[in-house]
Structure 1
């Protein structure tokens, strides 16, 4: 069961034509991309790359909120490397799997783990995928 929104803070609006070999753009003109199928060697990005970028950016935002609540100063070099796999299940259905590699240079191991776990609880992407997509969270 999904949680209903009480307040909408932002709505992203996009228009896509042609699917994995087409184009897409945002209503504000800030994003305008050409798509190509993964491994095709043709110019363009793919939905998995866009998802990885969105997830990693959102996850860092959640880390920043968690650090603020915990009164921890984050290193400027804090980063998330996201890997999104597109594959098939045993039943032949397409499915995604995610790996988030979180780097907090200079922080204690316990603090790193606490921040990553707190971010994973509150990040909207993590909440959206929970129970539906395998997410492997690794703290470097």
Structure 2
């Protein structure tokens, strides 16, 4: 859509499938990943889409920050914590994501520059970029996590 058009140089491919909807087991076609999925609105064990998208952003962004730390000759100390909220929309539902990023071993200006670079390089951050429902914030301390 707004992305650059480039020839594909695919480094990894996976196929995942969900045939059960919101309750049951979904996963990769190669059998390496099997996840019990459930609704966050029901008292049933399992992982939900909210957790998966939050973990995708947290993992990808922090892995990209880890590469930035290494490029700066630093040990990996960054932490990414993502708050995912879910609520009604018309029609259906929507998510709101706020990624809180802590890079404790650098000053704020350096951390902001590293985070800006990571946001430009992280595939998940690039995928979500431009959404009014996604915020990324550099923090000195994480806000309290509500249940």
Q: What TM-score results when the alignment is normalised by the length of structure 1?
A: 0.84
Query: How many Å apart are 1:41 and its aligned residue?
Result: 1.7
Partner of 1:73: 73
Q: CA RMSD in A?
A: 2.0
Partner of 1:46: 48
Partner of 1:17: 19
Q: 8 Å contact 1:75–1:105 — kept in the other structure?
A: no
- Write the distance in 1 (CA, Å) between the matches of 2:87 and 2:33: 27
Unaligned runs of 5+ in 2: 140-147
Q: 8 Å contact 2:66–2:76 — kept in the other structure?
A: no
- Write the distance in 2 (CA, Å) between the matches of 1:3 and 1:93: 31
Q: 8 Å contact 1:74–1:104 — kept in the other structure?
A: no
- Write the distance in 1 (CA, Å) between the matches of 2:22 and 2:85: 16
Report the structure, 1 or 2, having the larger helix content: 1
Aligned residues: 137
**Stretches of 4+ aligned residues off by more than 6 angstroms:** none
Query: How many Å apart are 1:80 and its aligned residue?
Result: 0.6
- Write the distance in 1 (CA, Å) between the matches of 2:77 and 2:69: 14
| CA distance 1:76–1:122, shift in 2 (3 Å) | closer
Query: How many Å apart are 1:133 and its aligned residue?
Result: 5.0
- Write the distance in 2 (CA, Å) between the matches of 1:124 and 1:133: 18
Query: How many Å apart are 1:67 and its aligned residue?
Result: 3.6
Secondary structure, aligned partner of 2:18: strand
Q: 8 Å contact 1:75–1:104 — kept in the other structure?
A: no
Please list the CA deviations of residues 114-137 of structure 1 after superposition, one character each: whole Å capped at 9, or x if unmatched: 111111122111111122352211
Q: 8 Å contact 2:66–2:78 — kept in the other structure?
A: no
